Amino acid sequence: MFTLTEEVLRVQRCYRTLLHVLSRPGTLARLDLPIERKNRLVSVPSPLLLACECLLDEKVTVSGLTGRGRLWAEEISRGMRVKLAEPEEADFVLSGVEASTSELLSLKRGSLLAPEEGATLFVYVEEGIKGDAGLLGFAGPGVRGRLSLRVSAAVLDWASRRGKLCFEYPMGFEAFLFDREGNVLGIPRACEIEVLKPRRG
Amino acid sequence: MGYVAVKGGEKAILNSEELLVAKTFGHESEPIEVHQILEQFALAVDRVMGEGGLYWPKLAAYALKQALGDSFEAAFLVRAFRSSVPRRGYTDPIDTRKMRVHRRISAAFKDVPGGQILGATPDYGLRFIRFDLFENLHQARIRAKKALENLARAGIPIPDSFPKIVDILREQGLLVSPPSAPRILTDITMETVSIPTSRSARLQFLARGETGGLLALAYSSMRGYGQIHPAIGELRVGDVPVYLEGKPLGWIRVTECEVISRMERGEDQDDPHFTMGYGLCFGQNELKAISMAVLDRTMQMDVCESPAQDQEFVLLHTDGIEAMGFCLHYKLPHYVTFQADLNQLRGVRRQKG
């Protein structure tokens, strides 16, 4: 009943990593992914599953954006006893990187009195976060001056859509981007992101 | 209240953390192993679990080691850990009638049904430091082991369960009836509690309250700031089974205290009867369970004439982690707020001069 298993320690390391990247926007970190997957929730990519195991429980709601996101959310809901909700009502939203601006706009952003009710978005980037498609600039709390990061085309497009969203602070949502290698990027609601060098063509 | 974000001095802060880590392992002695803390500082471990609000002895032992033995800091670490783990559900209510008793006493009745089980306690000894135990550790351990073996040979096995004193008093109509359990319990870890609050919330606050804080307020009531002179109907320390949706999870050690207090004439009862206060906390922490039971009783009073009867005063000032956090934040930079105070003071002096 009270054993400090590798699973517990891994979830703790994941928690620390998520906290780290959210307080340092523009900084990539690597999740410590399990070498062997449990034979459950097979459709959910490992980094997303680990983040869900870390932050989701039966007290929160989950939803999905994009076809894959909805599939993952349903599987997480079944396997982890997390209540399923519509995207505009969910505490946690799983999404493919192709989610549109209007879909992003539909997420819970909290209120001036209860900004903590804003959603947390998990975005899975199949092709990887890092890349040579362009340069993203990060500014805001947690960034000294401005920080830039070379990213893939998918992330650049997503960031460009996220950059257009305008919420009255402290309202908004937090986002984590994950890729298959376990890289994770945190984008808190107060973070300004800007496409510094767009890809050609 | 104004706060200033801590900025700068990053290198100094990192160095400070390194120094702290080095202290955790000691310089001139062997590092203390977690299993040693678990066994030989068991009461400290229990206290940290209770105040941290999480039953996990090994984790509490880790926290105590990391916190260099500071129970406040260790409880903070445990509660922070607790907030980072998923909630899998609510366990079924534990039944302390099924407790495997290690210790069970009543200060109300000498010949209590089932007998008094003193267990291991310093209650009846003199508070001398036993240098003889430490001057020759090896010999002392051998003597202690032999004594334990003799006790085990001569002793009578402890029954699986004991009758509860309060049940006997209730059967005789001498004790107030237990309140019916509410259909939905407040969960203070998930809900914002407003005062006055339900008894279930009050008991939860007390269960993870800081032992010293609870004692201070309970003692104020015992001394006269309030009118509770408790008699300990029963104090139990032992292990109880825990179930989740009917499935057994394991056993946890708890301390339970029922204090019998002043007579009252109830609204629906003509005959006067005793009233009761209840305390239950993780591990063995008798001081906390007794203080908790006293405060549970003081907060049931209709009148509020002393701090120990005031729910807000008791509940919001006995959470060690909140109180500690607020107290310690004053060590962090308040440069801007203090500059404002200085400017104001100088301004007033200028006007005066």
pLDDT in tens, B235-270: 999 999 999 999 999 999 999 999 998 766 656 656
Kindly tell me if the per-residue pLDDT of B4 is higher than 60.
no
What's the whole-model pTM score?
Answer: 0.88
* H/E stretch holding A158: helix A153-164
Residue A200, pLDDT score:
61
| d(CA B87, nearest CA chain A) in Å | 6
With cut-offs at 50, 70 and 90, classify the pLDDT of residue B2: very low
Confidence grade of residue B146 (pLDDT, cut at 50, 70, 90)? very high
Percent residues over pLDDT 90 in chain B? 62
Please report the pLDDT score of residue B69 as a whole number: 96
Q: Are the Cβ atoms of A58 and B87 closer than 8 angstroms?
A: yes
pLDDT at B3 over 60: no
Q: What is the ipTM of this complex?
A: 0.82
pLDDT greater than 80 at residue B336: yes
Mean pLDDT, residues B10-19 taken together: 91
What strands, in cross-sheet order, belong to the sheet with B100-105?
Answer: B100-105, B231-244, B247-265, B272-282
**pLDDT of amino acid B6:** 53
Least-confidence region, from A100-109, B182-191, B276-285: B182-191
Asked if A1 and B249 come within 8 Å (Cβ–Cβ), the reply is yes
Nearest Cα residue to B237 out of B42, B2, B41: B42
Tokens 């003071």 found at:
B345
Determine the number of helices (DSSP H) and then strands (DSSP E) in chain A.
5, 10
Tokens of A100: 């549109």
Per-residue exposure over B320-332, b if at least 16 CB sit within 10 Å of its own CB, e if not: bbebbeeeeeeee
> Which chain B residue shows the shortest CA-CA distance from A14?
B84
Q: Residue B81: which pLDDT band, with cuts at 50, 70 and 90?
A: very high
- B175 strand-pairing partners: B274
pLDDT of residue B228 exceeding 80, the answer is: no
- Between B325 and B182, whose confidence is greater? B325
Higher pLDDT, B160 or A15: A15
Tens-place pLDDT, residues A10-65:
999 999 999 999 999 999 999 999 877 665 677 899 999 999 999 999 899 999 99
Q: How far is the alpha carbon of B59 from chain A, nearest alpha carbon, in Å?
A: 8
Q: Provide CB contacts within 8 A for B233, sequence distance 6+.
A: B106, B107, B108, B165, B166, B169, B258, B259, B260, B276
pLDDT of residue A201 exceeding 60: no
Give the mean model confidence (pLDDT) for residues B266-283. 83
Sheet holding A192-197, edge to edge: A147-151, A130-139, A192-197
The answer to whether A142 and A23 have CB atoms below 8 angstroms apart is yes
Report cis status (omega within 30 of 0) of the bond before B113: no
Instruction: Specify the pLDDT at position B1.
Output: 36
Cβ neighbours around B272 below 10 Å, total: 12
Average the pLDDT over each of A34-48, A117-131, B146-160 and give the range with the smallest value.
Answer: A34-48
Position B270 scores a pLDDT of 65
Instruction: Specify the pLDDT at position B8.
Output: 60
Structure tokens belonging to residue B217: 């307020």
Tokens (6 digits) for B139: 């010999």
- Closest of A26, A8, A36 to residue A177, by C-alpha: A26
Indicate the pLDDT class of residue A5, thresholds 50, 70 and 90: confident
Judge contact between A85 and A63, C-beta under 8 A. yes
pLDDT for res B157: 81
Q: Please state which of the ranges B5-14, B114-123, B161-170 shows the lowest mean pLDDT.
A: B5-14
Contact (CB<8Å) A54/B86: yes
Please report, rounded to a whole number, the percentage of residues in chain A having pLDDT higher than 70: 96
With 90 as the cut, is the pLDDT of residue A73 above it?
A: yes
Q: A1 and B250 in contact by Cβ < 8 A?
A: yes
The answer to whether B8 faces chain A, any CB pair under 8 Å, is no
Q: Which of A126, A144, A137 is nearest to A198 (CA)?
A: A137
- Between helices B320-329 and B42-52, what is the axis angle to 10°? 80
Interface mutation target, options B77, B81, B85, chain A, most CBs of A under 10 Å: B85
Q: Could you tell me how far CA B65 lies from the centroid of its own chain?
A: 19
- Give B-chain residues touching A57 at CB under 8 angstroms: 86-88
The reported pLDDT for the residue numbered B353 is 77
User: Nearest to residue B201, comparing CAs of B312, B47, B324?
Assistant: B312
Helical H runs in chain B?
10-25, 34-40, 42-52, 57-66, 71-83, 131-135, 137-154, 165-171, 199-207, 211-223, 286-298, 311-317, 320-329, 335-352
Q: Which of B75-79, B155-159, B170-174, B258-262 has the highest mean pLDDT?
A: B75-79
Is the bond into B196 cis (omega within 30 degrees of 0)? Answer: yes
What local confidence, expressed as pLDDT, does residue B186 receive?
Answer: 87
Which of A10, A18, A56, A59 is the best substitution to test chain B (most B C-beta atoms within 10 A)? A59
Residue B301 or B38, more confident: B38
Residue B234 in this model has a pLDDT that exceeds 70: yes
Contact A189, A165 (CB under 8 A): no
Tell me the three state secondary structure of residue B107.
coil
Judge whether residue A155 has pLDDT over 90. Answer: yes
pLDDT of A1 > 70? The answer is no
pLDDT in the model for residue A164: 85
